[in-house]
Structure 1
């Protein structure tokens, strides 16, 4: 066996052993435990309880929003902390009850809250306006010139390759 082949083989074996050692993991107790851990049984989400908990969060949010003047409901800076507390409340309660967050139940309730407080916050219909003539001309000419330059480059390179053949 060639010395290079032997070195490559040794390197491969060291790599495999290092990978096995790393992938085996280290236990926090003794440092070298290889006993498999038993998976914890997955607890099911109690959706009826979650519905009640989310409504409690919503009632707290409604109480907090009642303290804010309704004309400021569309200005996020006036209620961002209350909304953050509401979001954290729904997230925390979901995790306590072993439910994913956001799930369809929480999303439905959040949409209900949005419709109640923020339905009048939509802006006027956006009117799209064409850009100025100069901008429009530049936006049209740049791709045209790039396309022509690429075609010229391809033709030039193909002629040069014919000379080298």
Structure 2
């Protein structure tokens, strides 16, 4: 087969793949529902608060099944919290409100204060390691650096002798 023909076939194949990929990528730009949804609904704040209360009531019922000592451990209530968060997000979108918005944030903060106010983290007091450990941690990199410099100098002198 002629090498020029093979190159021409490869070039045509590259152009075809490039055109398909460019069309596939730019096709999503032509679809407005892909990038943003038109805002047909206006946010009904009173209905939003009612729906948030309903989500909060369900979350309260779910959290009542969890022992109060376990409420600070996320692994015990992660599913319930996910359902609560999803409920607020879906209902805000269904009503025509952005999520999160200031009203939803205030509601979520109120729920956090109610259930998680006793979950404060103890501040860790960082202390220096003992002096022996600190000296060792400082001197090891210093000696390794000096050893590497000495090795480079020795190898460069040795290569001058061999050359």
TM-score by length of 2: 0.62
CA distance in 2, matches of 1:142, 1:136: 10
- Partner of 1:136 in structure 2? 134
CA distance in 2, matches of 1:159, 1:5: 53
- Partner of 2:19 in structure 1? 20
- Partner of 2:9 in structure 1? 10
Distance 1:145 1:106, change over 3 A: farther
Instruction: Write out per-residue CA displacement over residues 129-151 of structure 1, whole angstroms, 9 at most, x where no aligned residue.
Output: 33355543443233223432443
CA distance in 2, matches of 1:153, 1:91: 62
Instruction: Write out per-residue CA displacement over residues 43-87 of structure 1, whole angstroms, 9 at most, x where no aligned residue.
Output: 267262444422321232234334555444334455444323212
Distance 1:155 1:127, change over 3 A: same
Query: Secondary structure at 1:127's aligned position in 2?
Result: coil
Instruction: Write out per-residue CA displacement over residues 74-118 of structure 1, whole angstroms, 9 at most, x where no aligned residue.
Output: 344554443232122123324434656555554443233212221
- Partner of 1:46 in structure 2? 43
Deviation at 1:154, TM superposition (A): 4.8
What RMSD, in angstroms, separates the aligned Cα atoms of the two structures?
3.9
In structure 1, runs of 5+ residues without a counterpart are: 26-33
CA distance in 1, matches of 2:147, 2:49: 63
Q: Contact 2:55 / 2:84 at 8 angstroms: preserved in 1? A: yes
In structure 2, runs of 5+ residues without a counterpart are: none
TM-score by length of 1: 0.62
- Partner of 1:123 in structure 2? 121
Q: Contact 2:44 / 2:96 at 8 angstroms: preserved in 1? A: no
Distance 1:65 1:14, change over 3 A: closer
CA distance in 2, matches of 1:10, 1:139: 62
Residues matched between the structures, number: 154
Which structure shows the bigger proportion of residues in helix conformation? 2
Residue 87, structure 1, aligned to residue 85, structure 2: yes
